[in-house]
Structure 1
Amino acid sequence: MFGLFKKKTELEKLQDSYKELLEKAHKASQSNRTAGDKLMAEAEEVAKKIDALKSK
């Protein structure tokens, strides 16, 4: 109940984005390998941002 109005932190937003990009990349790689590779590259960029936030 108390978490109902809790806003997500930047780290939580990035983790959600990373997970979503990985799912999209997996689906795209089954039909279009190039699009899947681009999505994986975007996911890696998000992963780097996550690591940077965790290391602070």
Structure 2
Amino acid sequence: MWSFFKSDPEKKLKKQLARKREQALHAQRNGDIRLFASLTQEAEAILKQLQQVQSDKV
């Protein structure tokens, strides 16, 4: 009945992914390749979680 008050995990993961990708972009532009690699790795992990949530939804 009150399911519309629950947060959508897919939406949350999409926001996190966008934020990580933006942080990685800025790190790359600033020349911090190690931070870029770390943030990219974190973004890939979030992407895998997002894909898992999407596949569970179907």
Distance 1:41 1:13 in 2: 18
TM-score by length of 1: 0.83
**Unaligned 5+ runs, structure 2:** none
Q: What pairs up with 1:1-56 in 2 under 5 angstroms?
A: 8-31=7-30, 32-56=32-56
Equivalent pairs counted in the alignment come to 52
**Unaligned 5+ runs, structure 1:** 1-5
Q: Which structure features the higher share of helix residues? A: 2
TM-score by length of 2: 0.81
